[in-house]
């Protein structure tokens, strides 16, 4: 039996929601698990890419041995039902750029889990899949929208369970993603964040998180302009992300632009605006990145409402 699963990219944090807000975006990885490898060959992981040759960066970040997050996720699922994975061929077709804060690792973890779950006859329900995926990834803000789609706030609870709720992203708000040609590994980007923060900074984010939810629910652009700020992670990561400071500054007072935020741990950035401002957003972003001498792929995307989807069994 062979199962393929298509999983969307995700952008986490979205300003104030460090480790809890995330949304699915329409760029996809496809993970296929085939049970028909010859006996004795164990688990084989292959990476296939849109590029003619799979570059070393992808291979470095999605290892193909038992240290791989893909292997760990599948192993945890099998172990949860008292089995060990063997004789599986896992093919990963990647389109989501790696080390750019777009949830490429969440996508492969989720794809492998859902495919393996199907092969095993669906022993894990959504909540079990969310818990395993979060344990492997470390935080729920990418894996939850990768599984359920849309804009989601999620919380990892002490018992390992995930509480999540979907929010409706206003139709009128465009998301322009600037993907710089700059690698930024999540571990490095997390290492610059202090372990403790001041009460003032914690309260700053609490207020913005409340505003974010209300702004999205009532489609309140003025409130969203205040909400899309952060004091828990972005100020520390600014030095690692070329363009973040410049883009946030440039769009602060631009009409119909709601804000600029780091996507996940970076290096991509999101500029949230009304659709009427998209051309302006793209040209200003292009100019800023050119002045910094950093190549960047700039795309306007809609929130992907669907999460991971089984393509074939
Ligand atoms: N919330 C995580 C972080 C997302 O910002 O480190 C990493 O993809």
Ligand 1 touching residue 140 (CB < 6 A): no
Pick from 191, 27, 183: nearest CA to 103: 27
Q: Going along the chain, which residue ranges are E strands?
A: 2-12, 21-34, 43-49, 88-94, 151-156, 162-167, 173-180, 257-262, 269-274, 296-301, 309-312
Q: How far away, in angstroms, is 19 Cα from ligand 1 center? A: 6
- 19 alpha-carbon distance from chain centroid: 11
Task: List 108's β-bridge partners, or say none.
Answer: none
Q: Which CATH class is domain 173-301?
A: alpha beta
What is the whole-number distance in angstroms between the Cα of residue 93 and the centre of ligand 1? 23
Please tell me the distance from the alpha carbon of residue 166 to that of residue 188, in angstroms, as a whole number: 29
Q: Give the pLDDT confidence score for residue 184 in this predicted structure.
A: 92
The pLDDT of residue 13: 98
What residues of the chain score a pLDDT lower than 50? Answer: none
pLDDT, residue 67, reads 62
> Do residues 177 and 263 touch, judged by C-beta distance below 8 A?
yes
pLDDT on residue 158: 95
Task: Determine the Cα angle at 254 with ends 150 and 275, to 5°.
Answer: 40
pLDDT score, position 42: 75
Residue whose CA is at the smallest distance from ligand 1 atom 8:
264
pLDDT at 140: 97
pLDDT digits (tens, 9 = 90+) for 93-104: 999 999 999 999
Sign of the CA dihedral 63, 27, 51, 90? positive
Give residue 59's pLDDT. Answer: 56
Q: What is the pLDDT of residue 46?
A: 81
141 lines ligand 1 (CB under 6 A): yes
Tell whether ligand 1 has an atom less than 6 A from the beta carbon of residue 190.
yes
Q: Can you tell me which residue has the tokens 């009460």?
A: 199
pLDDT at 139: 96
Quick check: do 2-167+303-312 and 173-301 share a fold? no
Domain borders along the chain are 2-167+303-312, 173-301
CATH of domain 2-167+303-312: 3.30.230.10
100 pocket-lining for ligand 1 (C-beta < 6 Å): no
Query: Which pairs from 72-75 meet CB under 8 Å and 24+ separation?
Result: 72/136, 73/109, 73/112, 73/113, 73/116, 73/132, 73/133, 73/136, 74/33, 74/43, 74/112, 74/113, 74/116
């Amino acid at each position: 039996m062979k199962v393929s699963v298509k999983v969307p990219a995700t952008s986490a944090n979205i300003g104030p929601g460090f480790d809890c807000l995330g949304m699915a975006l329409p760029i996809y990885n496809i993970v296929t698990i085939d049970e028909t490898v010859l006996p004795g060959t164990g688990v084989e992981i292959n990476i296939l890419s849109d590029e003619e040759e799979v570059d070393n960066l992808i291979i470095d970040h999605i290892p193909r041995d038992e240290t791989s997050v893909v292997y760990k996720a599948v192993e945890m699922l099998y172990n949860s039902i008292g089995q060990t994975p063997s004789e599986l061929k896992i093919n990963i077709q990647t389109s989501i750029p790696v080390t750019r804060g777009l949830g490429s690792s969440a996508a492969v973890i989720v794809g492998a889990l859902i495919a393996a779950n199907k092969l095993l006859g669906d022993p894990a329900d959504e909540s079990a899949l969310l818990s395993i995926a979060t344990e492997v990834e470390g935080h729920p803000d990418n894996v939850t929208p990768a599984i359920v789609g849309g804009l989601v706030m999620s919380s990892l609870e002490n018992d390992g369970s995930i509480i999540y709720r979907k929010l409706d992203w206003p139709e009128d708000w465009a998301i322009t993603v600037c993907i710089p040609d700059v690698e930024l590994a999540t571990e490095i980007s997390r290492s610059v964040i202090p372990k403790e923060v001041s009460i003032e900074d914690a309260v700053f984010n609490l207020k913005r998180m409340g505003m974010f939810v209300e702004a999205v629910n009532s489609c309140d652009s003025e409130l969203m302009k205040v909400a899309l700020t952060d004091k828990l992670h972005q100020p520390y990561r600014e030095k690692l992300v070329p363009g973040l400071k410049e883009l946030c500054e440039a769009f602060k007072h631009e009409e119909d632009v709601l804000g600029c935020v780091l996507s996940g741990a970076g290096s991509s950035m999101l500029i949230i605006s009304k659709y009427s401002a998209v051309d302006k957003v793209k040209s200003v972003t292009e100019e800023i990145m050119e002045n910094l001498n950093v190549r960047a792929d700039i795309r306007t995307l809609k929130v992907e409402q669907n999460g991971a989807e089984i393509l074939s069994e």
